[in-house]
Amino acid sequence: MQKANRRYRASENGRACRRKQACRYRQRLKERRVCEPPEEREGYHNAADSKIFRCDRPGCYERFHRTSRSPLKKYCSPACRQALRRVLVREARWRDRLGLT
Ligand SMILES: [Zn+2]
């Protein structure tokens, strides 16, 4: 009887704790959504089946949708993709020259 009571209280405690955590998590989600620029939400609404990603090029903050045609797209434009490729090639050449490969 005592044991059952203790177990009940422990679970009740745990449940309250988890409830608080979930509540805090939801609160944070809500705040984050409020901070988002409105055009992003609009964009999301227009293309419900594609997700918005940010360009992988450092310094570029363009956003774009991933479509079924290019599900692994990482850059907002061919220009950004090319720029990043050039950097990778250049770095590889440096490593080659320094014998770090
Ligand atoms: Zn870009």
Rounded distance from Cα 55 to ligand 1 centre (Å): 5
Burial tier of 83 (Cβ tally within 10 Å: 0-12, 13-18, 19+)? middle
Rounded distance from Cα 16 to ligand 1 centre (Å): 45
For residues 65-90, give the mean pLDDT.
Answer: 90
Domain boundaries, the chain: 1-35, 45-101
Rounded distance from Cα 58 to ligand 1 centre (Å): 8
- Cβ–Cβ under 8 Å, residues 87 and 58: no
- Other C-beta atoms closer than 10 Å to the C-beta of 81 total 16
- Cβ–Cβ under 8 Å, residues 52 and 73: no
The pTM of this model reads 0.43
Rounded distance from Cα 72 to ligand 1 centre (Å): 14
Digit-coded pLDDT (tens) for 3-37? 666 676 677 776 776 777 787 888 887 777 766 56
Digit-coded pLDDT (tens) for 59-69? 999 998 888 88
Rounded distance from Cα 56 to ligand 1 centre (Å): 7
- Other C-beta atoms closer than 10 Å to the C-beta of 66 total 16
25 vs 56, residue with greater confidence: 56
Give the model's confidence band at 72: pLDDT under 50 very low, under 70 low, under 90 confident, else very high: confident
CA distance 57 to 86: 12
Beta bridge partners of 56: none
